[in-house]
Chain A
Amino acid sequence: MTRLFHSLRLDPAHTQREIDEELAFHLDQLEQELVESGTPPDRAAALARRRFGDPHRIARQCRAIVFREQIMTRRIHVAVTVLLALALVAAIGVAWSMGMEARRSRDIAMMQAVLARESQMRADQALAEARVQAEAARAAQDKLRASNGGPSEAQPSR
């Protein structure tokens, strides 16, 4: 008997036809009942419909119930796909920004190396200039002593 339970096949067109037939049967029975109890036949159909409710709306509700799992599954599939795509974009973004960070660190290191070399060069230059000045000062000193008649310093200053 469980086979009969699954007689609601998930073939949309077939299911829709069956729902329509089922509702139409009920409406016809209602109409017949009204006619049998004295309602004019031309009024019975409209009256039956009023008692039943809008068959299109009801058929739509029934279809939604039958296909609810399919609809939910499709929505889940779409949601999972979107999430995976977002995760992929996020991963690429993170990798790119990590690459940028690495490049930035490398650039900073290079700049620091350049700056270090420059200050080294400046230090060397200052040292050279200082030596030059020291030599000039000594030469001036010697010249002064020589003009004052004293002996020149033969040895380098201690």
Chain B
Amino acid sequence: MPGKASQPSSNPDILQGTLDVMILRTLQRAESHGYAIARAIERGSGGVLTIEEGSLYPALYRLQKRGDLASEWRTTETGRRARFYKLTSAGRKRLVQEVDQWERLSAAVQRVLGAQGAGA
């Protein structure tokens, strides 16, 4: 997941869930189009995460189909049309669940890494 990735790595489920929670979190702060979401994730990660930007869109479509997001076409300041996404109330609930799940997953991975720690 970290670094420039042209393809998702070998663990697609964790990766997908991670991308989903970052999208939901980004949209909690502001309604955005896909490009803005990509920039926000990159910026928010301090430049560590540069995802294959197109992979955002299947994730956005899936989340929308699931009911966590809604979208509408709007005109940007430059006069171009873009699809803007926002969280639904279901999406806000989902965000809370996913953050909780991510934190537990992250802690579990930490424990494994810690257990195999120095000198292994």
List the interface of chain A (C-beta within 8 A of B). 1-2, 4-5, 7-8, 18-19, 21-23, 25-26, 28-30, 50-55, 57-58, 61-62, 65-66, 68
Contacts and interface: CB of A to CB of B under 8 A. Distances in A.
A60 to B, nearest CB: 9
Interface string B67-92: 10111110000001111000010000
B65 interface: yes
Interface residues of B, number: 27
Contacts of B55: 53, 58
Contacts of B35: 25-26, 29-30
Interface stretch (B16-24, B56-64, B95-103): B56-64
A7 B71 contact: yes
11 contacts: A2-B88, A5-B69, A8-B64, A22-B34, A26-B33, A26-B34, A52-B53, A53-B6, A53-B55, A61-B58, A68-B65
A2 B53 contact: no
Given A4-B72, A30-B53, A52-B52, A25 B80 contact: yes
B41 interface: no
A55 B34 CA distance: 14
Contacts of A53: 6, 52-55
Contact of A23 (B57, B65, B69): B57
A4 B82 CA distance: 14
Which of B50, B69, B80: most chain A CB closer than 10 A?
Answer: B80
A18 B83 contact: yes
Contacts of A66: 61, 65
B58 A65 contact: yes
Contacts of B53: 26, 30, 51-53
A66 to B, nearest CB: 6
Per CB-CB distance, the 10 closest pairs between chain A and chain B, nearest first, are A53-B54, A58-B54, A5-B70, A61-B58, A29-B35, A65-B61, A4-B72, A26-B35, A52-B54, A53-B52
A55 B54 CA distance: 7
A8 B71 contact: yes
Contact of A65 (B6, B34, B62, B67): B62
A29 B64 CA distance: 23
B27 interface: no
A29 B78 CA distance: 11
